[in-house]
Structure 1
Amino acid sequence: MADLIIKNAYILSMDPEAGDIENGIVVVEDGKIKEVGTSTECTAEKVIDAKGSVLMPGLVNTHCHAGMTIFRGYADDMQLQDWLENHIWPAEAKLTDDDIYAGTKLACLEMIRSGTIAFADMYIHENRVAQAVDEAGIRAALSYGMIDFGDKEKADKELEVGRAFVKEWNGKAGGRISTMYGPHAPNTCSRDFLIRVKEQAVKDGVKQHIHVLETEAELNYMKENFGMCSIHFLKGIDFWGTDVLAAHCVWLSDGDIKILAEYGVNISHNPNSNMKLASGICPVAKLIDAGANVCLGTDGCASNNNLDMFEEMRSAALLQKVSTMDPTALPARKVLEMATINGAKALGINSGMLKEGYNADMIIVDMNKAHLAPVYDVASHLVYAANGKDVSTTIVDGKVLMEDGKVLSMDEQEVIDTAIKASKDLLDRIGN
Structure 2
Amino acid sequence: MTRILIKNTCILSMDPAVGDFDDADILIEDDWIVAVGPNLQADSAEIIDGKGRIVIPGLVNAHIHTWEFQLRGIGSDWVSSRDYHANMHKNLATRYEDEDVYIGNLVGSLNQLRNGTTTIVDWCHITRDASMTDAAIDGLEESGIRAVFARGTVKPPERPGEVPYHKKPFPREEIHRLRTGRLSSDDGLVTLAMAILGPDWGEYDVAAHDIRLAREYGLINSAHTYGRKGKRVVEDGYPRLAKEGLLGPDHNIGHGNCFDDEELKIVLDAGCTITATNLTEMLNYEQPAMLGRLVKHGAVPSLGTDCDPYFNSSMLAVTRHAFLHQRELDNRSLWHEGSWPAKTQHSTLTRDAIYWATMGGAKAFGLDRKIGSITPGKQADLVMFDCRGMNIFPALPGGNPAHIVVMYAETSDIENVIVAGRFAKRDGQLTLDPSRLQQLQDELLESRMRMFSAGNFKASPVERGPQPQEFFL
TM-score, with length taken from structure 1: 0.92
Work out the CA distance in 1 between the residues paired with 2:165 and 2:173. 12
**Secondary structure of 2:239's match?**
helix
**Secondary structure of 1:187's match?**
helix
**Equivalent position of 1:423 in the other structure:** 448
Structure 1 pair 74/161, CA: closer, same or farther in 2 (3 Å)?
farther
Which has more strand, going by share of residues?
A: 1
**Equivalent position of 2:338 in the other structure:** none
Work out the CA distance in 1 between the residues paired with 2:180 and 2:95. 27
**Equivalent position of 2:467 in the other structure:** none
Work out the CA distance in 2 between the residues paired with 1:134 and 1:54. 28
Q: Which moved more, 1:44-53 or 1:339-348?
A: 44-53
Q: Within 5 Å, give how 1:289-304 maps onto structure 2.
A: 289-303=296-310
| Contact 2:102 2:139 (C-alpha < 8 Å) held by counterparts | yes
Structure 2 residue 134 is matched with structure 1 residue 121? no
**Equivalent position of 2:412 in the other structure:** 389
| Contact 1:361 1:397 (C-alpha < 8 Å) held by counterparts | yes
Structure 1 pair 44/352, CA: closer, same or farther in 2 (3 Å)?
farther
Work out the CA distance in 2 between the residues paired with 1:180 and 1:13. 27
Q: 1:310-359 CA deviation, whole Å, 9 max, x = no partner? A: 11111111111223415724211111110111211112221111111011
CA drift at 1:173: 9.9
Match of 2:423 among 371, 378, 400: 400
CA drift at 1:156: 5.1
**Equivalent position of 1:206 in the other structure:** 219
Structure 1 pair 338/365, CA: closer, same or farther in 2 (3 Å)?
same
**Equivalent position of 1:110 in the other structure:** 111
Match of 1:241 among 241, 248, 269: 248
Q: 1:360-410 CA deviation, whole Å, 9 max, x = no partner? A: 011101111223133211101111222233211110011111101121145
CA drift at 1:288: 1.0
Q: Within 5 Å, give how 1:96-175 maps onto structure 2.
A: 96-123=97-124, 124-125=126-127, 126-146=133-153, 155=168, 158-171=171-184, 175=188
Work out the CA distance in 2 between the residues paired with 1:81 and 1:25. 47
CA drift at 1:15: 1.3
| Contact 1:63 1:268 (C-alpha < 8 Å) held by counterparts | yes
**Secondary structure of 1:245's match?**
strand
CA drift at 1:166: 4.0
CA drift at 1:154: 6.7
Match of 1:274 among 260, 275, 281: 281
Work out the CA distance in 2 between the residues paired with 1:343 and 1:20. 20
| Contact 1:144 1:165 (C-alpha < 8 Å) held by counterparts | no
**Equivalent position of 1:64 in the other structure:** 64
**Equivalent position of 1:354 in the other structure:** 374
Gaps of 5+ in 2: 128-132, 335-341, 458-473
Structure 1 pair 75/135, CA: closer, same or farther in 2 (3 Å)?
same
| Contact 1:62 1:120 (C-alpha < 8 Å) held by counterparts | yes
**Equivalent position of 1:259 in the other structure:** 266
Report the AA paired with residue 171 of structure 2. E
Gaps of 5+ in 1: none
Structure 1 pair 157/63, CA: closer, same or farther in 2 (3 Å)?
closer
Report the AA paired with residue 417 of structure 1. D
Match of 2:387 among 367, 371, 374: 367
Which has more helix, going by share of residues?
A: 1
**Equivalent position of 2:197 in the other structure:** 184
Work out the CA distance in 2 between the residues paired with 1:164 and 1:312. 35
| Contact 1:26 1:33 (C-alpha < 8 Å) held by counterparts | yes
Report the AA paired with residue 87 of structure 2. H
Report the AA paired with residue 300 of structure 2. N
Q: Which moved more, 1:147-156 or 1:105-114?
A: 147-156
**Equivalent position of 1:285 in the other structure:** 292
Work out the CA distance in 1 between the residues paired with 2:140 and 2:382. 17
CA drift at 1:44: 3.6
Q: In the comparison of the two structures, how many residue pairs are matched? A: 425
Q: Which moved more, 1:75-84 or 1:154-163?
A: 154-163
CA drift at 1:106: 1.5
Q: Which moved more, 1:372-381 or 1:173-182?
A: 173-182
| Contact 1:146 1:162 (C-alpha < 8 Å) held by counterparts | no
**Equivalent position of 2:207 in the other structure:** 194
Structure 1 pair 167/279, CA: closer, same or farther in 2 (3 Å)?
farther
Match of 1:309 among 307, 315, 318: 315
Work out the CA distance in 2 between the residues paired with 1:420 and 1:237. 48
Match of 2:328 among 317, 322, 339: 322
Structure 2 residue 263 is matched with structure 1 residue 250? no
Structure 2 residue 19 is matched with structure 1 residue 19? yes
Q: 1:200-235 CA deviation, whole Å, 9 max, x = no partner? A: 111111110111235x3xx3223xx6453x532432
Q: Percent identity?
A: 24
**Secondary structure of 2:181's match?**
helix
